[in-house]
Homo-oligomer: A and B are copies of this chain.
């Protein structure tokens, strides 16, 4: 059994490591086009903030670590062609070396690419995306070599906001530009209404509801024109306007695509071609809410995909990738944001009949000194009561309870199931009625 894994960040390395554990005598090779394997990319904003002292801490396992377990790693090797009928791939090494690798099974973990704005001047020096460790290192060396005071962050999804948080912490002047007027855009407006005030109070200049029309500069970026006519002075730009799955190779191989242009897989993470699997940001998951394929490029899911693809590639389709709640969480300064399932606007877009409740409560006992406001929003199916989604915004330490809603969604439960859970209580952790219970009780009009 020879297994080739294309891509070695999250999904690919999880797949390879799991495959090796499942089938010790499998010959496994990872081809990674960049210079790093097994990168905890979600940690990059915390390097920008100075919380992490050495960017290499983001490398979870090195090439040597994999090779010790018998997994060969081709670092800096880009797979340029796959002959799926003959079971052979061709890769180009960092110095142009040609490598030919025969395989029985193949896992594509080609990841995703940061979207570009597609405006004039985008190739000026000083304009970056933040997807790979190379991106991070490029930002760091640019900042070391150039005087940087004014930072523009384009896009305010969770990564954009994490980057803003990081640079504010380090004392830079930060401007946030977003085409949206409610931020982060994948949360409903009513749960994130305090975000503008939070950014303002940290001195972030917000210019929202506009787009970038042009970057200005002479070799190096120095300014940015916006659709409202405004011009912003910038020393560096981080563009964080989403990802698209990297599927060139899959397309060349004739594999079917699915939602958001990601590689189509079945419940075994197997693509439209038998024996070829996919994992991570290049592919999709299936929703526990609707059963539909959903594209969520999240590190947590990439690792789950990888384990399933790795197991199945070397041992037949033995395990199923569970349908996902699609839970995620991030922080902006002292505020945590968490969501699961579908938020209201996503349910509307899907024409799903729902009911909703939004409550504001304290996250801890009202008399406890660090208690703060928490917002909980729940969406559920009109007749069945089945939970469809939830959003929580509040003190950082309070929002991970989203996983309780995620658990109910994964188990197909209702708001009544949620209301019945006796949540753990003591004053430093929650009010005597947990905010989730309050929301669920209100949903039941109880």
Binding site for B on A (CB under 8 A): 10, 40, 42-43, 46, 51-52, 57-58, 158, 162, 298-301, 303-304, 307, 322, 324-331, 336, 338, 340, 365-369, 396-397, 399-404, 406-408, 410-411, 413, 417-418, 420-430, 432-434, 436, 446
Contact = CB atoms under 8 A, between A and B. Distances in A.
A336 B367 CA distance: 19
B301 A422 contact: yes
* Most chain B beta carbons < 10 A, residue from A46, A410, A417: A410
A8 to B, nearest CB: 15
18 contacts: A42-B427, A46-B365, A46-B367, A46-B368, A58-B367, A162-B426, A300-B422, A325-B422, A328-B424, A328-B425, A329-B425, A329-B426, A397-B400, A399-B429, A400-B429, A403-B424, A407-B411, A410-B417
B406 A421 contact: yes
Nearest to A43: B427
Contacts of A40: 365, 367, 427, 432
Contact of A403 (B338, B411, B423): B423
A46 B397 CA distance: 19
B410 A420 contact: yes
Given A162-B426, A406-B421, 6 more contacts: A42-B365, A298-B425, A397-B400, A400-B401, A403-B434, A411-B411
Copies of the protein in its oligomer = 2
A230 B340 CA distance: 56
A299 B367 CA distance: 15
Contact of A365 (B43, B162, B304): B43
B329 A429 contact: yes
A58 B404 CA distance: 28
Contact of A422 (B158, B304, B365, B367): B304
Contacts of A428: 46, 330-331, 396
Given A326-B422, A329-B425, A426-B328, A408 B407 contact: yes
Given A51-B369, A410-B417, A417-B411, A423 B327 contact: yes
B402 A421 contact: no
Nearest to A329: B424
Given A404-B404, A430-B400, A299 B410 contact: no
Contacts of A410: 417, 420-422
A227 B325 CA distance: 55
B300 A432 contact: yes
Given A367-B58, A411-B413, A400 B427 contact: no
* Most chain B beta carbons < 10 A, residue from A401, A420, A446: A420
Contacts of A303: 432-433
A410 B304 CA distance: 25
A390 to B, nearest CB: 11
